Copies of this chain bind each other. A is one copy, B any other.
Amino acid sequence: METMNKIDLNNYKEIIENYLEQYSLKNFPSNLTDSAHHIMTLDGKRLRPIMVLMSYMSYDEKYEKALNAAIAIEVFHNFTLVHDDIMDEAKVRRGQVTVHEKFGVNKAIVTGDAMLPHSYNLLTLGNEDKAADLLAVFSKMAIEVMEGQQYDMNFETMDEVTPEEYMEMIRLKTSVLFGASMEIGGVIGGASEDDRQKLYDFGLYTGLAFQIMDDYLDAFGDPKTFGKKVGGDILLNKKTFLLTNAIKMATPEQKQQIETLFNETNEASKIEQFKALFTEMNLPQLCLNKMEELHDKALGRLRSTTISEENKERLEYLGDVMLRRVK
């Protein structure tokens, strides 16, 4: 593979897609392959497995050694999507019908339940000598993701969620998976304990910034490029980085306004008014500042690893793509 530059991110995606297509459901139960295949082939950015590969390649360019672990991470991620969609009663994901809509809730539960041990199988395949370390990183992450999912569900019935609670929730639900992706690449590549922790932190901070960007774009994104329905979180009164900070900083009048807006039934008006309020409170800037802060932390950790400058640049570029800092 050539040295990283702005063009060849698609090379990584292609490697991942080809390998996923061939091996991600190898030895998977035949009576669950249709449903698992449905979620695994939805068009996605494959950021997490690309992270595993790039992290590994910071120690050894022969990326084949990290491919099984990379797709393990993607299978795990897709398992969480299948179960999340059941819980959210989502009908559509990435423009396609969700697994439980197409195959029924029970089959969707069992499909996810089989994808999880399948991802464990893939994780250590070809790297059995590192099984204990890989297992430790992966299981800790998996349990934290579930803990985050439960926090997120608890938020729905909580009157007030602080920005700190929100950050802890997205750390668990979203960001630890990016951290683990980086660390798993490092483990297979033979990174030191110290590098492993720094790679994990790079993934974690980038993941946090990624989620805050998603919250920002939900309100202020361009409908043409966002990929999801703009204003979706607002319509659900979802406790996001924007809303939790708005509630924290609100004057009594603004608090009243927010309460009233929660019950606004005109969708366009609700989105418009919330956006106006967020802007009035300078929250778009707060998002951008927070993302900048997290991006800086991520880079600080990356730069203090022992990997080469070239490899640092490659990972930095991946972070920039994730956070839409480059086109």
Contacts and interface: CB of A to CB of B under 8 A. Distances in A.
A175 interface: no
Contacts of A149: 110, 113
A116 B113 contact: yes
A53 interface: no
A2 to B, nearest CB: 34
Given A113-B116, A131-B132, A121 B150 contact: no
B117 A150 contact: no
Interface in A151-166: 151, 153-154
Contacts of A106: 87, 153
Interface string A164-201: 00000000000000000000000000000000000000
Interface in A284-312: none
Contacts of A139: 117-118, 120-121
A118 B136 CA distance: 10
Interface string A200-233: 0000000000000000000000000000000000
Contacts of A120: 120, 135, 138-139, 142
Nearest to A152: B110
Query: Of A136, A139, A140, A150, which is in contact with the most chain B CB atoms at under 10 Å from its CB?
Result: A150
A143 B27 CA distance: 9
Interface stretch (A28-36, A44-52, A236-244, A263-271): A28-36
A124 interface: yes
Interface string A56-98: 0000000000000000000000001001001100000000000
B146 A110 contact: yes
A107 interface: yes
A28 B30 CA distance: 33
A34 to B, nearest CB: 11
A319 interface: no
Contacts of A124: 131-132, 135
A114 B147 contact: yes
A253 interface: no
A131 B127 CA distance: 12
A143 B28 contact: yes
Contacts of A151: 31
Contacts of A87: 106, 109-110
A28 B136 CA distance: 14
A37 B30 CA distance: 34
Query: Of A28, A87, A132, A154, which is in contact with the most chain B CB atoms at under 10 Å from its CB?
Result: A132
A117 B117 CA distance: 8
Contact of A150 (B27, B107, B128): B107
Given A86-B109, A120-B120, A131-B131, 17 more contacts: A27-B143, A29-B147, A31-B150, A32-B147, A83-B109, A87-B106, A107-B150, A110-B153, A112-B113, A114-B142, A114-B147, A117-B146, A118-B139, A120-B138, A121-B135, A128-B132, A129-B132
